[in-house]
Structure formats: C-alpha cells, structure tokens
Amino acid sequence: MLEKYSVRTDLALEEKERFESDNVEIAGVVLEEEYDEKREMRITKVLIETENGAKSMGKPVGSYLTLEAPNLAVPDEDYHREISEKLAGYIRILVENKCAGRRPAGRLVNNEGRKDGAVHGNEVGHKDKSARGNAKLEEMDVSVLVVGLGNRQVTPDALGPYVADNLCVTRHIVKEYGKYAMGMEHAKLVSAIVPGVMGQTGMETMEIVKGIVEETKPDVVVAIDALAARNSKRLNRTIQVADTGIHPGSGVGNHRNGLTEESLGVPVIGIGVPTVVDAATIVNDTMENLIDALETSDVLKGVGDVLRTYNSAEKYELVKELISPHLNGMFVTPKDEDELVKQISYTISEALNMVFTNA
C-alpha cells in the first residue's frame, strides 16, 4: 500500500526484502543467494514461480537475477571486465533458453522474408523445453535487437542510450556479406535502437519497438533501462537481469506499457541498473529511522512503540503528511552520476558484445 506515494522499487530483490522485514514468507517466490568473496560480489536470484507469488511481488512470473558489486562505482578496468564476463554468462544462458528451438540453425539469413511467420511461431518457443536444454549459443543462429530505453539528455536516464552507443551492431554486415564471409559458422545478428521517450516522440516506446520487431523479426529483444531503487546504496552498484522484460512503472522515465514477450511477440530480456531513488522514499526511510531512533530515548521510547503499532493505512496517512508536495516527480541521484552511468553502461555493452560478437 505504501507504494501509492511511490516508495517504489524496480528491483525484485528489494521487493522481496520488503516482505522479509515483515518476517513474511511469500508463497511461490524462491530466493537463491551466492557470494563471490574475492570480487565482493553478491548474486541474488529471485524466482517468482506462481501467479500468487507474482501478485504478492507486483512483478510477473519469471527469474530476476541481481548482481551487486560495490566496486562497480570504482573506475577499475580489470574489475569491470570480470563483471562483464559474469554478466555475459547469465545473458548467454537466458538467450540459449529463450531462443533454442525457435528456428533451425542455418535458416536465419535466407528466410527473413516477411511471410515466414511459421518460423517464428511461439508454439515452439516456450513448450519444447526438451529441445532447449542442450542448445549452445555458439551453435545457434540468433538475431537480437537491443533497445536502449530512456532519455539521453537526462543523466540518470541515459543508461540505455549509452549501452547502445558502445554496442557492436552486425546485422547489416551479415545481411550484406553473409555469415561465412565474417568467419562465423553460426550468425549472430545484432541490431540496436534508441527509441527516445514519449515527450520527444509522441509515441509509446512500445509502439516504436513493436513496429521495428515486426519489420525486422529478431529472435530476442534485450532491453536496457535505468531503474529506481529503494536503497540509495544500490545506485550504480547493482545490475538486474530479468527474463520477463521491462514492466510498466519501471525505470526513471516510467513507461506506461511494458516491453514483454506478450506485447512484442518475441522473448524480452530486461537489463536494468538503479540510478535514482524516488524523493518520497527518502521521506519514508526517515520516518522508519525516526521510529527506531525514538526507541533509544527514555522520554520518547513510548512514541516509537505507538507508531510501530500503526497499520499500513495509518502509516500511509502519516507519511503522506510528511511529504512536501513539491517532491513529487523529483528523484535523488549522486552528484557524479554522469561518470557512474557511463562506466556501468560500458560494462553492460561489453557483456553484450562478449555474448553476441565474440561468440
């Protein structure tokens, strides 16, 4: 309920944490954690397995992998390369799972006429799990459209466009010269689009991307977006990879329509980095901190206890009162966000280049 004044998060991990603080187990949601001590990197996988779980989490059924690495904010090339490799590994598996069975290898380049709907049939897509497990990306012909979401002019929203800038696009070259000429046994066709935001285009991002997908028929879309987090310590230090695409209300720019397999007709992998915290979140946190702080004061101890007994509706009313009306539409972001977003966007584009260009 608190979300109404948008103490929102786009990280499944943080959505899960919210329940944990309430000591609630969520049916249909599984959490897996792994810590890479050497690299100080925490990997968390949130699996939403049932519709019930999806409802509780406010996110669709699917897997949400979060990679947290405090040093992502440090300009250390070697470290970033290691993160790119780790990330590339996860993306590769997702692409293999999503694309295996979608089309027989070798038919990619020749059969891209607009009539071959059959080849793209979703009926093969999701069900034939047996056929997939074994497919290796190296042995697959895959065509991917990378979508760089967000507004290049707004620093913390420029993540997507920056990733697209550093991407090796190859589709036009393979189309022109063929995959063998490029020394590839199995073609990877990479295309990219920076669709802009609605205030610039007058169109929903979804409309633009859907049109391009229907015209160019990629096997999979990888959409990159800047996200909002609840916890400011995660900003620019966290990468989320979701096999469910990009969802309404996500991101700095708040897309109204998601980019999902349902809306686009092809699987969508969503990659996001939190770059802002909603100003309202800060207010909410302050109140929570205050309640804790009151505990330690002899005089005021009782107040914290009273506030703690408030139910959600009462808390909502209280926090609503505390928020200055002018904070709506404002966000919190680090002063050196420009450097940070450039750095992490490069790490992501390198990961994608590893997956699709050197494969």
Minimum Å distance from CB 352 to its own copies?
13
Question: Is residue 56 part of the contact set for its own copies (CB under 8 A)?
Answer: no
> Which region among 40-48, 132-140, 228-236, 238-246 touches its own copies (by CB under 8 A)?
228-236
Q: Which residue from 253, 270, 272, 274 is in contact with its own copies, where contact means CB under 8 A?
A: 253
Closest residue by Cα to residue 227 from 241, 244, 207, 210? 241
For its own copies, which residue of 83, 99, 212, 221 counts as binding (CB under 8 A)?
212
Nearest distance, CB of residue 309 and its own copies, angstroms:
10
Site for its own copies in 151-170 (CB under 8 A): 151, 153-155, 157, 164-165, 169-170
Nearest to 330 by CA among 283, 268, 267: 283
246: left (phi over 0), alpha (psi -120 to 50) or beta: beta
**What is the sign, positive or negative, of the torsion defined by CA atoms of 79, 80, 83, 88?**
negative
Pick the closer one to its own copies by CB: 26 or 323: 323
The 62-68 sheet, strands edge to edge: 29-36, 41-48, 62-68, 238-242, 268-278, 220-229, 142-148, 188-193
- Residues in region 113-132 near its own copies by CB under 8 A: none
2 binds its own copies (CB under 8 A): no
Q: Does 203 bind its own copies (CB under 8 A)?
A: yes
Cα–Cα distances (Å) from 220 to 11, 99, 271, in that order, read 22, 7, 13
Q: Which span (12-20, 34-42, 88-96, 193-201) binds its own copies, by CB under 8 A?
A: 193-201
Of 1-9, 29-37, 207-215, 267-275, the segment contacting its own copies by CB under 8 A is 207-215
The span from the CA of 178 to the CA of 3, in Å, is 51
**Where does this chain touch its own copies (CB under 8 A) — which range of 40-48, 56-64, 178-186, 289-297?**
289-297
Integer Cα distance of 129 and 41 in angstroms: 31
> Binders of its own copies among 327-346, rule CB under 8 A?
327, 329-338
Rounded-to-10 torsion of CA 81, 83, 84, 85: 90
The CB-of-130 to its own copies minimum distance in angstroms stands at 33
74 is an interface residue for its own copies by CB under 8 A: no
For every residue of 173-207, which 3-state class applies, written as one string? HHHHHCCCCCCCCCCEEEEEECCCCHHHHCCCHHH
The only residue of 252, 259, 268, 359 in contact with its own copies, by rule CB under 8 A:
252
CB of 61 to its own copies, least distance (A): 27
Q: Give the C-alpha separation, 97 to 290, whole Å.
A: 47
> Binding its own copies by CB under 8 A: which of 214, 248, 262, 308?
214
Pick one of 30, 180, 293, 308: the residue that binds its own copies (CB under 8 A): 293
Q: For its own copies, how many residues bind (rule: CB under 8 A)?
A: 76
Residue 267 Cβ, how far from its own copies at the closest point, in Å? 18
Interface with its own copies includes 6 (CB under 8 A)?
no
Take residue 68 and report the two structure tokens written for it: 């947290």
Positive or negative torsion for Cα 129, 222, 276, 42: positive
Of 71, 208, 346, 357, which one interacts with its own copies (CB under 8 A)? 208
